[in-house]
Structure formats: C-alpha cells, structure tokens
Amino acid sequence: MRREAKFVIAIALAATLLIPSLTTSVLAAPEKEVKIKVASVTPMGGKMQEKSIKLSDAKKLADDIKSAQEAFKIVMDPDSNQTERNWAMEIVEQIINELKKLGLIPAGFIFHLPQFLSPKFAFLVPVISVGSGFSYIPLYPGEAFIGFMLRPIFMQYFLFGYTASVNFHLIPPRLEYWDMVGTQTAMILGFVGIYIDFGKIGYGIPNMQFLLGESLFVTGIDWL
C-alpha cells in the first residue's frame, strides 16, 4: 500500500509540474493567420496585394461587413430619409476605419461618402457589392496600375449576395437606383475604390467578397 501511495504521489507531482508548462505552450502558440487579397484604387493608381491578418480579425471583419448589408442598402437607396442615411453612413465609416486599423487599406485613403448619399450625373456611378462567393479579374497578374481598374471584375455570389448601383438616364434626365439580392453574377468595369477578397476563413464557407467605390459601368444577372 505504501508503495502504491508513493507512486500516486509521484504521478500527482509530475502532473503538477507539467500542467503549467503545457498551459504556457498553448498560450504561447501563435494565432492562425489568413491571407486576404486587397486593392485600394484611386485615380492616381493602385495595386492588388496580399495581406496577412489574424483569422479571428478576418472572421470579425467579414461578419461586420455582412451585418452592415442593411446599411449599404440605405446608403444606395435614394428614397431613404435623412435619419436612416446618417445611421447608414456611420456604419459604413466604421467599416472603413476597421479596414484601416487592420492595415488592409492605407491610413491616408480617403473615401467620399456624400456621392453615395446624393448621387449626381457624373462620369462614374457609385457601386457596392458584398457577399459569399468568388471574384475573378481576367488576365490580371496583380501588377500596379495607373488610374482605373480597366479590367472587368466579376463577382459571383450564391445564397448571400448584395450589389447595388445607380443608372443615369438622359431622356428624360433621371437617376435610377437598382440592386440585386441573393444568388447573382455582377460585373464592374472601370473601378475606383476598395476591393477585398477575404479568402478561406472557414471550412465550407465560400469566400467573402467586398467592393465599395465608383465605376464606369456596372451590370449583372439576378438568378433568383
């Protein structure tokens, strides 16, 4: 009995010594990072690049963008009232600030929201596109470019997707708001703004895509 008691005491002491070291190792393990494709495009130029951020930050940002879908709708809808627009603008600005904090867009990048709240006849039309799916830029190797993203950006969304823009009509002169919700294919040509492909941030979850800015031309197919 004494021998067994000593054996149990020895095991207990060994466990006491091992647990802190194991806990320290677990706590010291670096958090998994994911690569995110991001481009901030201005008329002066831009470049597609990959950024590495913590998986938890990527998931939080993707969730925040997905939750802000209603705000994006209000920002683009000319029939929304001033109170709704003020609330929506705050949400969008929070997203922009979060992108800057994570280093996904330059700290000095300035995005002007007023053209979304009061779009006018102009060379470029405002566009917002967000959803789960994938995007494709034909024959784009990722090099720097000057001016607009002249290559088309194709966005394919499945169950969750939202794209909105404004069409300008000359006869009679008017602005026409339109959007697509759900399964869709969008094409954006001549883009200026923020474009992000979140990559794989979860098993079985299609990539989160996010695009916010202005474009020469926006069109798409609503599959539902």
- For the stretch 132-186, pLDDT in tens is 888 888 877 665 555 667 788 999 998 788 998 877 766 776 777 888 988 999 9
> Would the pLDDT of 25 be above 70?
no
Sign, Cα dihedral of 221, 159, 167, 139: negative
Per-residue confidence (pLDDT) for residue 200, from 0 to 100? 63
Contact 115, 92 (CB under 8 A): no
What the block records as the tokens of 117 is 């709240």
Per-residue confidence (pLDDT) for residue 204, from 0 to 100? 52
Q: Report the b/e string of 149-171 with b at 16+ CB within 10 A.
A: beebbebbbeebbbbbbbeeeee
**Residue whose token pair is 């091992």:** 18
Does the pTM surpass 0.85? The reply is no
The span from the CA of 136 to the CA of 51, in Å, is 18
Per-residue confidence (pLDDT) for residue 188, from 0 to 100? 92
Per-residue confidence (pLDDT) for residue 196, from 0 to 100? 84
Per-residue confidence (pLDDT) for residue 4, from 0 to 100? 54
Q: In this predicted model, which residue has the larger pLDDT, 58 or 2?
A: 58
Contact 95, 109 (CB under 8 A): no
Average pLDDT of the chain to the nearest whole number: 75
Q: In this predicted model, which residue has the larger pLDDT, 136 or 76?
A: 136
Per-residue confidence (pLDDT) for residue 48, from 0 to 100? 73
85 to 74, 106, 108: CA distances (angstroms)? 6, 26, 24
Average pLDDT over residues 113-132: 69
Q: Cα 117 from chain centroid?
A: 20
- 221 band by pLDDT with thresholds 50, 70 and 90: very high
Per-residue confidence (pLDDT) for residue 202, from 0 to 100? 60
What the block records as the tokens of 174 is 């008017």
Closest CA to 161 of 216, 91, 88, 222: 222
> Would the pLDDT of 14 be above 70?
no
The amino acid at residue 9 is: I
Average pLDDT over residues 77-94: 84
Sign, Cα dihedral of 67, 68, 69, 74: positive
- DSSP β-bridge partners for residue 125: 215
Closest CA to 65 of 158, 157, 130, 155: 130
Q: Which of 20-24, 75-79, 153-157 has the highest mean pLDDT?
A: 153-157
